[in-house]
């Protein structure tokens, strides 16, 4: 004889947060469904917006399937926003340490860059050539994101995440040799990142609404 117990997704999420391994979740689910007999095993499947728990006779094959199901339920969900934020931070960290190779590693082969004053660059070779010029610049720049302006929006096709849009406002400081740095100006940016497996690439870059900093007043 079989009995059936329906667990709503909210309860499953609660159990996943409260218990750190599959064995603990299994015991917790059994308690939720009042399954106290050690002569029965449990498994979970998804049906009509709910998780359905069925109880049936214990076999070795069922035990293996049971553990696999709960192990999968206990694994943390992938945090795409955190991954995109890390790629964005790493890209600009390379910019600030004058590392064009580090920057170029994050861009796609078909990258497109659009600047409201400098025009456009199409393809990784063109953008990489400009980035490589950082090494020969007399004065380097330091980029700082304006706090509270950076936002990340995931891009999906159906339920699958294929990328993210990162947008915000940032400031650039000139670092003259032997002198204090000073603010050069501010602008807005929008970048489209695409993800393939675990690999993120920046494929579209928009830099716009550049505003020069007011000149320092002389005393």
DSSP helix/strand/coil, 39? coil
Q: Is residue 143, in this structure, part of any structural domain at all?
A: yes
Give per-residue pLDDT as tens, 24-36: 544 454 455 554 4
The pTM (predicted TM-score) of the whole model is 0.65
46 or 108, which is more confident: 108
CA quadruple 199, 92, 122, 113: dihedral sign: positive
Q: How many domains would you assign to the chain? A: 2
Q: Is the pLDDT of residue 203 over 70?
A: yes
Q: For the chain, what percentages of helix, strand and coil (3-state, to nearest 5) are there?
A: 30, 40, 25
Q: Are residues 198 and 141 in the same domain?
A: yes
pLDDT bucket at 161, cuts 50 / 70 / 90: very high
For the chain, give the mean pLDDT: 79
**140: containing domain:** 80-212
Give per-residue pLDDT as tens, 45-70: 444 444 444 443 445 454 455 555 55
Q: Are residues 62 and 129 in the same domain?
A: no
Supply the CATH number for residue 113's domain. Answer: 3.10.450.50
Q: Is residue 218, in this structure, part of any structural domain at all?
A: no
pLDDT bucket at 91, cuts 50 / 70 / 90: very high
CB 145 within 8 A of CB 172: no
Q: Are residues 188 and 128 in the same domain?
A: yes
Q: Are residues 50 and 129 in the same domain?
A: no
| Section 62-88 average pLDDT | 72
């Amino acid at each position: 004889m079989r009995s059936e117990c329906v667990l709503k997704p909210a309860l499953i999420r609660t159990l996943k947060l409260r218990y750190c391994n599959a064995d603990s979740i299994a015991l917790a689910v059994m308690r939720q469904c009042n399954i106290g007999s050690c002569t029965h095993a449990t498994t979970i499947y998804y049906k009509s917006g709910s998780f359905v728990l069925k109880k049936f006779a214990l076999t070795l094959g069922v035990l293996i399937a049971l553990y696999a199901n709960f192990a999968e339920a206990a694994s943390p969900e992938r945090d795409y926003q955190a991954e995109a934020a890390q790629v964005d931070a790493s890209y600009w960290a390379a910019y600030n340490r004058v590392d064009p190779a580090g920057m170029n590693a994050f861009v796609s082969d078909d990258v497109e860059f659009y600047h409201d004053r400098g025009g456009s660059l199409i393809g990784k070779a063109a953008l990489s050539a400009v980035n490589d010029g950082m090494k020969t610049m007399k004065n380097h720049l330091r980029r700082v994101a304006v706090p509270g302006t950076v936002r990340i929006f995931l891009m999906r096709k159906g339920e699958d995440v294929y990328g993210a849009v990162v947008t915000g406002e940032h400031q650039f400081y000139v670092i003259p040799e032997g002198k204090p740095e000073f603010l050069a100006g501010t602008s807005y940016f929008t970048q489209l990142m695409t993800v393939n497996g675990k690999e993120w690439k920046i494929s579209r870059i928009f830099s716009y609404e550049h505003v020069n900093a007011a000149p320092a007043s002389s005393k």
